[in-house]
Structure 1
Amino acid sequence: MDGSMRCVLILILLLPVRVGAAEPIPVSVQTLKELAIHPQVEAPATVVSLNHSQVGAKITATIDELAVQVGDKVRKGDLLVRLDCTDYRIRQRQTDAALAGSKAQLRLAEYRLQRARALAKSSNVSEELLVQREVELTALKAEIRARDAALAGASEDVARCELRAPFDGVVVKRMGQTGELAAPGKGLVELQDVDSIEVSAQVPGAQAVHLAGSPDIQFRDDGDHYPLRLRAVIAVRDPRARTQEVRLQFSGTRALPGTAGRVLWRDDQPYVAADLVVRRNGLLGLFLAEGEVARFHPLPAAQEGRPARVDLPPDTPVIVAGRVNVVDGSTIRRQ
């Protein structure tokens, strides 16, 4: 075989190798930190008062006076309702008089016992009489204790003739009228605390843990925004709605109790834009640059056309331009 034929054969043998050798695919790369977005999340919420009570009578009596009107602001201890206390004051005076009589009898019983003990030393009184005097004194002491308790109860009933505000608040409803009979358990004035308030929100269970890490939480109502800070995530999940209640406090200007709105925050976990997510072999994910090789990183929770949460270090190199041209293991050339 001459030299020319040998060269031709060598070229033929080398040709498949030259055709099969893949050229590196040009790509551009950015770190996850540069690409990360933190989408806004929101949940329904309501401003709630920590003290919202129906103040009612603890005794049965006629209403003499309703001292407040709906909308009135009251301070703790202010008079709300005055009841007719005539019968209870009479009972208090009767109990006090009975107690005074028992105390007078006690002094006489103490003297009789002292006298009986002196006579017993000279055997001028029987042992039976001495025991009788001791029993009389013991019985009177027990009677005085009982009447002391009865007087305390009667005095407490007299104090209950005036219903006073248990906290600072606003009167939101009157349920009684002058001349009506009030009874235990019947609310007469509804009082709401407008200072001790917080926001209650129902947050999807998967988002509740991320809310705690958000640096910017707000309550929105008809275009108004109020800054919030997280107080607590209730460790109970609603099995139907699959939500958890969170409680938040205002850190500045506050909305009124009863206001319904939305709580908004930025997810503390990084996301990537929907157009960076590609599909390979039925899976959605990102292409990462490992040296000069493209590696497919699946994102199991990703959804087509939506930003995807990424659990990777911030300095992870992500293939941006050229991602549609690569497969797992492709040789790449960074531009």
Structure 2
Amino acid sequence: MIRERKSHWSIRVRHAVLAARCALAVALVLGASVPARAAPATELPVLAVQATAVAQASRYDGQVEALRQAVVAAQVPGRVLELNVHAGDAVRAGQLLLRIDAQAAEQNAAASGAQVAAARAQLDVASTELARKRQLAQKSYISQAALEQAESQWRAAQAQVNALSAQAGAARTQTGLHVLRAPFDGVVAQLAVERGDMAMPGRPLLTVYDPAALRVTANVPASALKGGAAGAQVLLAGADSLLTPLRVQVLPTVDPQSLTQPVRADLPAGTRAVPGQFARLQLPGGAERSARPRVFIPASAVVRRAELTAVYVMGEGQRPQLRQVRLGPVQGAQIEVLAGLDAGESLITDPQAATRAVANGSR
């Protein structure tokens, strides 16, 4: 009897140990499957988004122009024999751009030179004859009329030499017109001719502009210029920040059809732009009541992934959430948010830390 009780008790103990071991194994498995707790969201740097009242500004379409731009055209006809530049090349003042066939002009110059030499020979003969007639007139061997005739022939020979010399100079000048050089330091904007083309007088061959002196010209309604153009700024196409022009000029002419006035804003030296590039001229609003709230955030808080532009905000349960936004122009270290973020929301200013927190929370 006692032995049977002991055996039953040992079997119960074994069952209890086996159940404890199974419970421990299940606890270990369940513990391994429980996700690790994410880093507390309160550790992330958070900034309360605020709206700032900024006076509204009006923007007007314009384009970039060069203060110095020259259209190099041919003054004489001829075939283009030599072309030393291409569109986009930087050139120096006096640099050879292209050369036109000057064979006919050189022959004309040579002929003019020969005519000048012949006229000089005739002048020498007339000078000798005049000197001889003067000696004879002193001894009364010839009449006064003969002396005057010799002087007249000498003056005619002298006039012939002067006329042919002028023609020879014009012929040499024509020869020089077959060589075109850069008028100033600049960049070749357009090239309208190729080697072998026929150049005609007045036909534009290429365009050179000075990249160091550019301006933006826009047509602004005359009603918006009653207070002048003080505080004007320029926004170039593809740029995020506004430029402050060196000088703003409002032309005194008004278009009778559109009632607009041209406004010219000189760009700072070193601005990367090209003539014809699209730009906008921004004029500040004139009244404080026109101010509207605008949201600015640190530019370092923006996340750019391929075509996605977003920021991290603190969502429900103090969890970082990635939100797509639409951005405006950059002003220093701040950037304007046009859509996707409202005032009063919590912005995470360290996007890398927010990315790590999201990754740890998804494990």
Provide TM-score, normalisation by structure 1.
Answer: 0.65
Asked if 1:206 corresponds to 2:253, the answer is: no
- Taking structure 1 as reference, are residues 58 and 262 closer, same or farther at Cα in structure 2, changes over 3 Å only? same
Query: How far 1:197 moved relative to its partner?
Result: 1.5
Query: How far 1:140 moved relative to its partner?
Result: 1.3
- The residue aligned with 2:277 is 259
1:1-335 equivalences in 2 (<5 Å) = 38-214=55-231, 217-222=233-238, 223-251=240-268, 253-257=270-274, 258-267=276-285, 269-272=286-289
- In structure 2, give the amino acid aligned to 1:179: G
The CA RMSD over aligned residues, in Å, is 2.4
Work out the number of aligned pairs and report it.
238
Aligned equivalents of 1:40, 1:167: Cα separation in 2: 38
Structure with bigger gyration radius: 2
- Taking structure 1 as reference, are residues 230 and 182 closer, same or farther at Cα in structure 2, changes over 3 Å only? same
Aligned equivalents of 2:61, 2:258: Cα separation in 1: 12
Superimposed CA distance per residue, residues 62-117 of structure 1 (whole angstroms, 9 cap, x where no aligned partner): 21111112221111211111112222222212212221222232232122212212
- In structure 2, give the amino acid aligned to 1:104: A
SS at match of 2:140: coil
Aligned equivalents of 1:274, 1:182: Cα separation in 2: 59
CA contact (8 A) 2:70 2:207 kept: yes
SS at match of 1:184: coil
CA contact (8 A) 2:212 2:270 kept: no
Aligned equivalents of 2:158, 2:288: Cα separation in 1: 80
- Taking structure 1 as reference, are residues 148 and 122 closer, same or farther at Cα in structure 2, changes over 3 Å only? same
CA contact (8 A) 1:220 1:264 kept: no
SS at match of 1:82: strand
CA contact (8 A) 1:217 1:229 kept: no
Aligned equivalents of 2:171, 2:278: Cα separation in 1: 46
| Structure 2: stretches of 5+ with no match in the other structure | 1-52, 293-363
Query: How far 1:219 moved relative to its partner?
Result: 3.0
Aligned equivalents of 2:281, 2:64: Cα separation in 1: 11
SS at match of 1:179: coil
- Taking structure 1 as reference, are residues 201 and 89 closer, same or farther at Cα in structure 2, changes over 3 Å only? same
Aligned equivalents of 2:270, 2:196: Cα separation in 1: 43
- The residue aligned with 2:344 is none
Query: How far 1:273 moved relative to its partner?
Result: 5.2
Query: How far 1:213 moved relative to its partner?
Result: 3.1
CA contact (8 A) 2:73 2:202 kept: yes
CA contact (8 A) 1:37 1:270 kept: no
Superimposed CA distance per residue, residues 159-203 of structure 1 (whole angstroms, 9 cap, x where no aligned partner): 112111122222233322323322211222233332222111111
Aligned equivalents of 1:252, 1:270: Cα separation in 2: 32
Superimposed CA distance per residue, residues 219-260 of structure 1 (whole angstroms, 9 cap, x where no aligned partner): 343324222133421111112211100111123552412221
Provide TM-score, normalisation by structure 2.
Answer: 0.60
Query: How far 1:37 moved relative to its partner?
Result: 7.4
- Taking structure 1 as reference, are residues 154 and 253 closer, same or farther at Cα in structure 2, changes over 3 Å only? closer
* Identity value in percent: 29
Q: 4+ residue stretches of structure 1 with deviation over 6 A? A: none
- Taking structure 1 as reference, are residues 182 and 252 closer, same or farther at Cα in structure 2, changes over 3 Å only? closer
CA contact (8 A) 2:56 2:291 kept: no
